[in-house]
Amino acid sequence: MVMEIVCPAGTPAALRAAVKAGAHTVYCGFADETNARNFPGLNFSRAEMTEGIAFAHSHGSKVLVAINTFPRAGAETIWHSAVSDAHAAGADAVILADVGLLAYAAEDHSDLRRHLSVQAAAANADVINFYAEAFGVKRVVLPRVLSVQEIAAINADTDVETEVFVFGGLCVMAEGRCSLSSYATGLSPNMNGVCSPATHVEYTQEGGDLAARLGGYTIHRVADGEPAPYPTLCKGCFHAGKKTGHVFEDAVSLNAEQLLPQLRDAGVTALKIEGRQRSRSYVSQVVKNFRAAVDALEAGRTLPEGMLARLAEGQASTTGAYRKTWR
Partner 1 sequence: MQQSNIQIPTFPRSAALALRVLPLLPISASLTAFSRRITKRSPGLFRRLGEYDRKRFILDPTDLPILLRLDANGGIPITTAHRKDPGDGDAKIAGSLAALLGLVHGAYDGDALFFSRDLVIEGDTAAALALRNAIDDAELDLAEEIAAFSGPLARPVRRLAALAQRITGVALMRPEEAMSW
Partner 2 sequence: MELTVGANQFFWKPEQWAAFYGDLCTAPVDRVVLGELVCSKRLPFYQDQLPTAIERLMQAGKKVTLTSLALVTLKRERKMTSELAAMNIEVEVNDLTALAVLPKDVPFSVGPLVNVYNETTLAWLAGRGATRVCLPPELPLASVAVLTRAANDLGLEIEVWGHGRLPLAISGRCYHARLHGRTKDNCQFACEDDADGLAVETLDNQPFLAINGVQTLSASHASTAYQIEALQDAGVSALRLSPQSTGFVALCDLYRNRIMGKTDATELVAGIVAQNPDCQLSDGFLTGSRGSDWSGSSG
Q: Where does this chain bind partner 2 (CB under 8 A)?
A: 70-74, 76, 97-101, 103-104, 121-127, 129-131, 143-146, 150, 153, 172-174, 176-180, 182-186, 188, 190-191, 215, 217-221, 234, 236-241, 243-244, 247-249, 321, 324-327
Q: If contact means CB under 5 to 8 A according to the sort of partner, which of partner 2, partner 1, none does residue 99 touch?
A: partner 2
| Residue closer to partner 1, measured from CB, 34 or 285 | 285
Tell me which of partner 2, partner 1, none is bound by residue 229, counting a contact when its beta carbon lies within the kind-specific cut-off of 5 to 8 angstroms.
partner 1
Q: 172: Cβ–Cβ under 8 A, 6 or more apart, which residues?
A: 144, 234, 248, 249
Query: What span, in angstroms and rounded, lies between the C-alpha atoms of 49 and 63?
Result: 9
176 binds, among partner 1, partner 2, none (CB under 5 to 8 A by kind): partner 2
Report the run of H or E that residue 219 belongs to, with start and end. Answer: strand 217-223
Residue 221's SS3 state is strand
CB-wise, 20 or 264, nearer to partner 1? 20
Q: How far is the CB of 213 from partner 2 (least distance, A)?
A: 9
| Number of residues in the chain | 327
Q: Which of 259, 317, 265, 273 is nearest to 165 (CA)?
A: 273
70 makes contact, choosing from partner 2, partner 1, none, with CB < 5 to 8 Å by partner type, with: partner 2
Cβ-based burial of 44 (10 A; exposed 0-12, middle 13-18, buried ≥19):
buried
Residue 10 contact among partner 1, partner 2, none, beta carbon within 5 to 8 Å by kind: partner 1
284 binds partner 1 (CB under 8 A): yes
Q: How far apart are CA 289 and CA 280, in angstroms?
A: 14
The phi and psi torsions of 228 (rounded to 5 degrees) equal -115, 90
234 binds, among partner 1, partner 2, none (CB under 5 to 8 A by kind): partner 2
**Residue 281: contacted member of partner 2, partner 1, none (CB under 5 to 8 Å, by partner type):** partner 1
β-pair partners for 181 = none
Residue placing its CB nearer to partner 2 in the complex, 190 or 269: 190
Q: How many residues bind partner 1 (CB under 8 A)?
A: 49
| Distance in Å, CB of 291 to partner 2, minimum | 29
List the end-to-end C-alpha distance of the chain, in Å, as a whole number: 31
- Say which residues have a Cβ less than 8 Å from residue 10's Cβ, sequence separation at least 6: 28, 37, 39, 42, 43, 275, 276, 277, 278
What is the b/e burial string over 106-140, where b = at least 16 CB atoms within 10 angstroms of the residue's CB?
beebeebbbbbbbbbbbbebebbbebbeebebbbb
Give kind and range of the element (H or E) at residue 174: none
Nearer to partner 2, 58 or 205 (CB): 205
Q: If we measure between CA atoms, which residue out of 241, 214, 207 comes closest to residue 229? A: 214
Residues in region 29-48 near partner 1 by CB under 8 A:
31, 39-42
Only segment of 69-77, 81-89, 113-121, 284-292 that touches partner 1 (CB under 8 A):
284-292
Q: Are 271 and 278 in contact (CB under 8 A)?
A: no
Strand order from edge to edge, sheet including 217-223: 201-206, 209-214, 217-223
Q: Give the range of 92-100, 138-146, 152-160, 198-206 binding partner 1 by CB under 8 A.
A: 198-206
Task: Give whichever of 130 and 203 is closer to partner 1, judged by the CB atom.
Answer: 203
Q: Closer CB to partner 1, residue 216 or residue 225?
A: 225
If one asks whether residue 192 binds partner 1 (CB under 8 A), the answer comes out as no
Q: How far is the CB of 64 from partner 2 (least distance, A)?
A: 21
Chain residues in the site for partner 1 (CB under 8 A): 10-14, 17, 20-22, 31, 39-42, 197-199, 201-203, 225-230, 252, 255, 277-282, 284-285, 288, 291, 306, 309-318
